[in-house]
Structure 1
Amino acid sequence: MKLVVVLMLAALPLYCYAGSGCQLLEDVLAKGADPETSVEEYVDFMSEFLDNDKEREVAAGLKQCFLRQSNETLANVMVLENAIFDSLLCAPF
């Protein structure tokens, strides 16, 4: 199950790099880190990318992991996201 989460999070940046922009990845992370978004809302948001019940279960587990974190930790996740996207490694060629 952890492997599915890792693969899902690894596939999103590749999807963004393919020309659609990174708004999708930012939205996934923002909804994941938002304590106001319920597990059901998050799974519904991700439903376009979830093909079966096992993947829905993994997405729900990922959101539940975010919900267990403190607000400070969630804010740090967003700071980390911004630092990664603003780094030279993610700069367009």
Structure 2
Amino acid sequence: MKLVMVLMLAALPLYCYAGSGCAYLEGVIKDIANPTISIEQFKNSLKEYIKDDATSNAVGEFKQCFLNQSNETLENFDAFMQVIYNSPGCVLF
């Protein structure tokens, strides 16, 4: 399952880099770090990419990892993502 999570993290920036739209990627990242969004709500936002139970379970575990974090950690994660988004040298975003 950890491998699936790593692959998901690697695939999202590639999706953006391919020209599909960074707004979608930013939305997924905001949803993953938002403690008010439940696992089911997160799965619903990605339902077009979830094709089987194994993927559904991986997405649920991925979201649960963020739900287990403190608000301070989630705020730091959001600040980190903002630095990446606004970085002039970053070609993925």
Normalising by the residue count of structure 1, what TM-score does the alignment of the two structures yield? 0.90
Letter paired with 1:33: A
Over the matched positions of the two proteins, sequence identity in percent amounts to 49
CA distance in 1, matches of 2:45, 2:55: 13
Contact 2:17 2:91 in 1 (8 A): no
How far residue 10 of structure 1 moved from its aligned partner, in angstroms, is: 0.7
Aligned residue number for residue 2 of structure 2: 2
Larger relative contact order (Cα-Cα within 8 Å, sequence gap ≥ 6):
2
Q: How many residues align?
A: 92
Q: Deviations over 1:43-83 (max 9, x none)?
A: 11111112211111011001111111111111111111111
Stretches of structure 2 lacking an aligned partner (at least 5 in a row): none
CA distance in 2, matches of 1:83, 1:53: 35
Higher helix share: 1
Moved over 2 A (4+): none
Stretches of structure 1 lacking an aligned partner (at least 5 in a row): none
Aligned residue number for residue 31 of structure 2: 31
